Structure 1
Amino acid sequence: MTSDPSPAWRGKLLTVCGMLIIVGAATAMTYLHTAGQSDQLLRWSIVMALLAVSGLLMFIRGLSSLAAPQARPDAGNLLPAMQRDGLQQTALTLESRLEHAPIALFCVESKGQEKNVSPLNGNARRLIAPGRVIEVSQLYEQIIAQAVGKRSMICFETEQGQERALLASSSLTLQSQAQLIVALMPVESELQMEAQQAWQKLIRVLTHEIMNSLTPVASLSSTAQDMLNDLQLPQQNAADLALALDAISRRAHGLVNFVGSYRSLANVPVAQLERVQLQALLARISSLVSPMWQSRGGEIQFSVEPANLEAMLDPAQLEQALINLIKNAFEATASVQPAIVSIRAQLSRGARLRIEVSDNGPGVPKDLIAHIFTPFFSTREHGSGIGLALVRQLVQGNGGTVRYADSVGGGARFIISL
């Protein structure tokens, strides 16, 4: 089997042949004119002219082939086929690993004084997609400001509330152009879980120690009251002692009940997951809380989309979490007429259950949002600080998250994702 001639050899061949045809045609025409054969001169002159034109075209084509830059051998063609396939497979593997990396990767490129940020993998594109980050430009500003080789914690607003993330960056140069690769890892859920576990341990220790001290006090005060009746004391002294012992006993029992209420944060049972129809679950909650809202002229709204929506969860624990949020909304809208609370369940991105509880109250001040789920913290004067802390613990026990998010129309909005 012979291979095709190279472009250079083909060009040389065309040039030589074209030159020979032109010279031959010119020689023939000169001979015809010299011979003087007038009857055939015109016919042969036309033939020789056409032949000369053909030779000229062939000559020009050959020169063009010689003048054109010769393609250098492709380096890939010099590699054995097996090695070339191996390199392609390696490239595809690296690209696939980058695309499915469990963190969001961004590239920062400089063009003069301007810096452009672009997502590099699926997690980064999902993060800036509609329904996640509210202000993408603000997130990009924080990415651009990230110092090379440093780690920092940033905050940004999402549709599900405020999110905290860890940023890390490194620089590299590709094709003489400096670039910055920035890795972003959301850690809000992990930080919430760690904080919740720390509070659980603290509450468990405090309630144990306080209960150990209060129980004997309550018991001894009751015993002292009984003994007082057997003592022969002046009436005024006996009355004063009885009043003091009664105050001690009442206060001790009150503290025992108060501390006991916080045990619920430290002793939440393990969630028993089962398939639950959201329509039926919300109907049960409606029968419990609707009369309370209607009694003061308020309105409570429930919606499930689609109507046959189901999820794997602990129904008792989710009911308790939603009742706590509805109670919180009831207290927050005490001065609003008409008071309205809406509970909406639907599927969100990734086929996750999303439940929103929103009201038309005053909402939560921005400087307090970071603390509302902290145990013992309350925005109300006589609040215990248990309700929202218990909500978060119940939701986390079901493998979900609960966030506070700003509402466009005002009021508070809590989002549960399961």
Structure 2
Amino acid sequence: MGSDGTANPTRHRRTGVAISALGLCAISAAAVACADSPRTLSALALTAAALLALGLYHLRGLRAPAPIALAEPPPTAAQRDADLVQHRALEAALAHAPVALWRVDALEALPLNVAARRLMAPGGAPGGVAAAALRERVARTPTEGRHREVLSFEGERGSERALMASAPLQLGNETTRLVALMPIESELETEALVAWQQLVRVLTHEIMNSLTPIASLSGSAIELLAEAAQAQPDLAEALEAIARRSAQLLAFVESYRSVSQWPAPQWQVVEVAQLLSGVQHLVAADWSAAGGTVRCEVTPDSLQLRTDPAQLEQALLNLARNALEACLQRTDHHDPGAAPALLLQARLGRGGRLAITVSDNGPGVAPGLETQVFTPFFSTKAQGRGIGLAVVRQLVHGLGGTVRHAKRPSGGACFVLGF
């Protein structure tokens, strides 16, 4: 009993639970003894229900004692030193990262490392824009989800591009944004220069191959003109050869123009399964005529993509056409017993990106040529013009995607389109 003469609440509840339990036991025994009397059994059932309700009421009021929290031992001096070293290493890595990093809170951009502060210095921003304009542009990044885009800055040094990416950042109970900015103009110019060097090399080779016989035959035609009376047949043959080589040169230049000019995409949401099925139907006849098969796999069936279906279909048709030519080469020279096979596959990859794969069982891309197969007019085939894969890359990049060659353990060529 407490000092005020009242019972302890916990003891009352325990007593109530005990009484209810004993009463239920007694009622159970009485029910066995009075099994022949329905009226008595009904009364006992009502009493048992009341005792059960009373027991549950008191049982809910009981609480298990809270567990005793064991205090963690304080960290040792060695642990504190190790944590300090790790903390300083992370700070150094952040400070000297080559990518400029900002933290954006309430439309205010705070530089986090040396690269960001360098861009904020006078004349350090892309294009030479003012530091305030750069800070304002970083602060205006989209606030929802992950975001990435290529920005163009117009300043004292002209136009310069930079890649900006942003993502939400959770710091305790506070949600902020982390923004990364990397000027890419110099890297793009380097890549463009390398690409143009490769293109000029191929163009020079092809044009010289056409102009050399034209020059030679023209000289022969001039000499024959002096003897036109007895050399009419030879003169006609020389002029015919000149016309033929000129037509081939014009066709080559026309191919170059087709690679460099494509209309703007007409965007719409398409069902990936329907798109790949359409490509399968378009190429099935050619593959069947060659004794081959075409399969299509989409996982899951509900995959959708915002794209230009006509341009993406053209890219896939080019890949399928190249694959058939490669498989026919394999049939002629490598393994005559294997039937050509093409697989069109679509699935979600890392980060939720859509991957469309076009693979075959042909001889594959020769080692060392993986990075050259997309160069305009580069071809591994004797009679190839080398524009198929160049067109594929231009179409896919114009649709906001990427295309790459992937090695397969089983052999054959495999191209992956990522969106």
Q: Rg larger in 1 or in 2?
A: 1
What TM-score results when the alignment is normalised by the length of structure 2?
A: 0.46
Query: Normalization by structure 1: what TM-score?
Result: 0.46
